[in-house]
Structures are given as structure tokens and as C-alpha cells.
């Protein structure tokens, strides 16, 4: 059963094609594994990023609350200072009146 040159070339081409396809498939196994690993890592990183964003939002909320409390405390201190200043000014006016001094205000 002799093969013609065309049949021999066709058989050789088919054999080489199958061998090449097998090598390519073998070479792709680690590539596919690496792609799957990268996808898993990416998914994990996205989850971590979302967690960090939630934590950051919580910190921002806490900072706003602290800022609000500090603002209220500052306002209260300023009101106390204004009241003390007014009280002192009244006392000075009373003292100036008793001493017969002209008012400086």
C-alpha cells in the first residue's frame, strides 16, 4: 500500500497539525491556570477595595461628628467669653461711675 506524494504530504501535514495542536493545548494549560488565578486575585482585591471604601466612609462620618461636636463646644466657649466680657464691661462702667471717671466706651 504505497502512498502517492500528495497523500504522503497530506498525512504528514495532518500528523504535524495534530502534534502542534497538542503542544499548543499543553502550553495553554498553565496560561489558563494563571488567568484563573489573576481573576480570583482581582475579585479578592475588588472585595477588599469595597471594604476599605466602607471603612473610609465610616471614618468620614465619625470625623464629621467630631467636627460638629467641636464646633458646638467652640460656640459655647465663645458665648461664655462674650458673657464674661459683657459682665466685666458693666463692672468697669459701674466702677467708673462711682469713681466719677468718664466712660471710655
**What pLDDT digit, counting tens, does each position of 7-35 carry?**
889 888 989 989 899 898 899 899 999 99
Residue matched to cell numbers 468697669: 92
Whether the model pTM is above 0.85? no
* Contact status, residue 103 vs residue 96, Cβ threshold 8 Å: yes
pLDDT at 5: 85
Q: From CA 101, how far away is CA 36, in angstroms rounded?
A: 91
Lowest-confidence pick of 22-31, 47-56, 80-89: 22-31
Q: What is the DSSP letter of 100?
A: T
> What integer best gives the mean pLDDT of the chain?
92
CA-CA distances (angstroms) from residue 30 to 23, 33, 40, 42?
A: 12, 5, 15, 18
Amino acid at each position: 500500500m504505497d502512498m502517492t506524494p500528495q497523500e504522503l504530504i497530506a498525512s504528514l501535514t495532518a500528523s504535524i497539525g495534530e502534534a502542534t495542536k497538542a503542544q499548543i493545548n499543553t502550553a495553554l494549560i498553565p496560561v489558563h491556570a494563571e488567568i484563573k488565578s489573576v481573576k480570583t486575585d482581582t475579585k479578592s482585591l475588588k472585595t477588599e477595595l469595597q471594604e476599605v471604601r466602607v471603612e473610609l466612609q465610616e471614618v468620614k462620618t465619625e470625623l464629621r461628628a467630631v467636627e460638629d461636636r467641636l464646633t458646638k463646644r467652640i460656640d459655647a466657649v465663645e458665648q461664655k467669653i462674650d458673657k464674661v466680657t459683657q459682665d466685666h464691661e458693666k463692672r468697669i462702667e459701674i466702677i467708673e461711675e462711682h469713681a466719677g471717671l468718664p466712660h471710655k466706651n
